[in-house]
Structure 1
């Protein structure tokens, strides 16, 4: 990936367009990573199902955990994996170590919500 050759750490976003079984979702995301040439720990990967973007409820935690666990099998050790978009308060704890952090969307626009999410992650 050209960005890493010039000292940048790329943030690569992946996600399946429609709700499918978690193992199939992981396969779609893995194909996206391969198409972009993502192979090493010099990249941060943000995962969110496209069908959950802008939805009133995020994807179910069990679904995200399963997809993230399968993605980890494909990623190099040490690659940071984030869950993104509709992630807000209460989400990080429910992901039970499956992801390294959150890629916040609308929850980062409101300072109180952002502080609440950061407080949960620091605990």
Structure 2
């Protein structure tokens, strides 16, 4: 085998290994009903059976808490895992309206989103609280997906890395052992639900910075997902970037075929 052939084979092997590691996670946000969910879940099962997506990509959905029982029942015999969109920093007690990590575990949740930009902006959740939620999830064996990202004003001011470093700092302070059990999702706020998407190069630049921070903290292999108007038409170019390990998908996760094709 020539040196060129050897290099090509190594490149193909690396691409194959990355595909196997891809995590495509849907965030239904505040959408759904028992009837609509039943159809969506059935379509996801059918799509997987028909090979719409690569069998080696892993799919997950984070759904509104009232539907966790329905989703757990519908997906229990599939390779799709599920989780919630938020969790309390408290384990139990007089916290009306809160949902604890122990409760999520009762529904066999693998994942929970913490620090999504909508929680940060609409519910005034700060960086320290996000870290506390991540810690609470880990204690109960639920994997936190820590969301970070900058606003358009912050990007235009050249503050992207500074903003994300600040958001990550309390999570990193939990220590390497905790970090290694998490997932990080980079979501530029200006690209969520707007139809605008960071270019693969813009996303990679931020992901590389996140990877550098995680590596310095002793957790270089943490999955770092990209979120922000991800769809099947732009997923491949994003996933081609070396530090993008998958996607956190919003609106497209409500359409089974489109969602599965993101991992195709």
TM-score by length of 2: 0.41
Q: Say if 2:212 is the partner of 1:77.
A: no
C-alpha distance in 1, partners of 2:181/2:236?
A: 26
Q: Secondary structure at the match of 1:10?
A: strand
Preserved contact between residue 148 and residue 185 of structure 2 (Cα < 8 Å): yes
State the partner residue of 1:3: 137
Aligned 1:1-123 pairs, distance under 5 A: 1-18=135-152, 20=155, 24-36=159-171, 37=173, 39=175, 40-75=179-214, 76-95=219-238, 96-119=241-264
- Structural RMSD (CA): 2.1
User: Higher Cα Rg: structure 1 or 2?
Assistant: 2
C-alpha distance in 1, partners of 2:242/2:184?
A: 15
Give deviations 1:55-94, integer Å, cap 9, x for gaps: 1221121110100011100112111110113111143322
Q: Secondary structure at the match of 1:27?
A: helix
C-alpha distance in 2, partners of 1:62/1:46?
A: 16
C-alpha distance in 1, partners of 2:199/2:174?
A: 26
Distance 1:90 1:98, change over 3 A: farther
The structure in which a higher percent of residues are helix is: 2
C-alpha distance in 1, partners of 2:189/2:170?
A: 18
